Amino acid sequence: MKLRVLVLGAGFGGLELSSILSDQIGNDLDLTLIDQNDSFYFGFSKLDIMFGRKHADAVKISYNNIKKPGVRFCKETITAIDPIKKIVTTATGSYEADFMVIALGANYDIDATPGLAACGNEYYSFQGAQKLREVIPAFTKGNAIIGVCGAPFKCPPAPSEAALMLHDHLTAAGFRDACTISLVIPFGSPIPPSPDSSKALVKAFEERKITFIPQRKVSSLDATKRAAILDDGTEMPFDLFLGIPKHIAPDVVLKSGMTENGWIPVDRANLLTKFPNVYAIGDITSVGTPKAGVFAEGAAKIAAASIVAAFKGQVNNDPYTGAGSCYIEFGKGEVGRVDVDFFSGPKPFGIHHGASVTLAADKEHFGTSRKARWFGIV
Ligand SMILES: Cc1cc2nc3c(=O)[nH]c(=O)nc-3n(C[C@H](O)[C@H](O)[C@H](O)COP(=O)(O)OP(=O)(O)OC[C@H]3O[C@@H](n4cnc5c(N)ncnc54)[C@H](O)[C@@H]3O)c2cc1C
């Protein structure tokens, strides 16, 4: 009997899990990987797109490249999930399996922040980042705000990265002296588990005259005053607003009855949901790690190990440690890295690696190695 697996979502988590199961089970696997899109892109490529470093077509990787034993990719939109029967309905059909893995990521609730759609911008969606390619070059004087509108949000370093990259862009364009840059985030420091990474970022902000406003989030934008209203009532006038919108689980997941407080709860050790043989990995969960690709990937490894073990009549005893390395764009072509571990010790801790061009090359390798592993592109 083949192992029937349904993987919902072909992002970081879904691709990693499908690749591992194919490598380990091969032709005894009958895995259906479903995604509404026809191509994958890394979250960090949105920064490259918004600042014109790369073209949109250059960062997209077609799912047609997936040619793995036992894996079938279906480009379909999932409309219903039955976690009890392990049946998934799409716009064109339905699928059933022995194991189901939910890896549908997080969506954005733009309307949760009044005024954001009318007079702000966001760079967390692909379309938002693409639109900014036109908007950012037109900003030549006044106040820029990079503002977080809700937590949790993907890739906690990304707001800091956008601020540093905007500084570089304005400096190169000759407009930096005519502009201010402010960064509003809801944490006390840029990367709470790593005091050293936070210190390095705060120093970089000071050196570049970027105003850092911790412990605050943006509640709304006033289109008439062109001002961001923070959660303590402070008004900050802006000429350019780059927002991190409030995140929300995809509608189909919310309707499935699997969520509690907005996200899918899982057993931290093995990523199992409360439904037998149904796993959830990555941004869609409330597992306790940040919403980032590296953590989705780490969770995929453990969920895959559990599924392989179950197929072989065994049990996987390696728990998920919530460990991963995040790269941080510091500008000037340099990248830093923070190695974070959320579950191994009594509290989360991070080790900082200072920004360098060597780590910029490491980040490049991070992308190309995933392209090779998931799509066979070398
Ligand atoms: C600006 C920015 C920078 C980032 N930088 C980094 C970084 O440097 N390092 C890092 O690790 N992470 C980074 N991230 C975060 C990272 O992109 C996400 O955390 C990661 O992609 C989550 O993986 P996932 O598998 O949980 O979900 P995703 O990768 O989001 O995949 C979910 C998939 O589900 C599909 N889907 C959703 N709903 C449906 C439906 N109804 N039907 C069919 N398909 C559906 C989507 O199309 C998507 O392909 C960044 C994010 C942003 C926005």
How many beta carbons lie within 10 A of that of residue 313, not counting itself?
6
Ligand 1 atom nearest to 253, measured from its CA: 41
Q: Give the chain's residues under pLDDT 70.
A: none
Residue 264: the pLDDT is 98
Question: How many separate helices (H) and strands (E) can be counted in the chain?
Answer: 10, 23
Residue labelled with tokens 């010790």:
345
- The domain at 3-106+249-320 falls in which architecture? 3-Layer(bba) Sandwich (3.50)
The candidate with the shortest Cα–Cα distance to 281, out of 307, 245, 312, is: 307
CATH architecture of 110-246: 3-Layer(bba) Sandwich (3.50)
Q: Which atom belonging to ligand 1 lies closest to the Cα atom of 363?
A: 8
Residues 116, 117, 121, 123: what is their CA dihedral angle, to the nearest 10 degrees? 100
Rounded to the nearest 10 degrees, the angle between the axes of helix 158-173 and helix 126-138 is: 30
Q: Is 250 in the pocket of ligand 1 (CB under 6 A)?
A: yes
Q: Model-level pTM greater than 0.95? A: yes
Residue type for position 34: I
- Cis amide linkage into residue 152, ω under 30° from 0: yes
Residues 128 and 295: their CA atoms lie apart, in Å, by 24
Mutate to test the pocket of ligand 1, among 48, 146, 154 (most ligand atoms within 8 A of CB): 154
Residue extent(s) of CATH 3.50.50.60 domains in the chain: 3-106+249-320, 110-246
**In terms of residues, how long is the chain?**
378
pLDDT digits (tens, 9 = 90+) for 196-227: 999 999 999 999 999 999 999 999 999 999 99
Any ligand 1 atom below 6 A from CB of 48: no
The pLDDT of residue 349 is 94
CA 134 to chain centre: 24
Report the pLDDT value the prediction gives residue 354, as an integer from 0 to 100: 98
Q: What 8-state DSSP symbol labels residue 117?
A: H
Which of 75, 155, 259 has most ligand 1 atoms within 8 Å of CB, for mutation?
Answer: 155
C-alpha of residue 214 to centroid of ligand 1, in Å = 25
For residue 38, report the phi and psi dihedrals to the nearest 5 degrees.
-100, -5
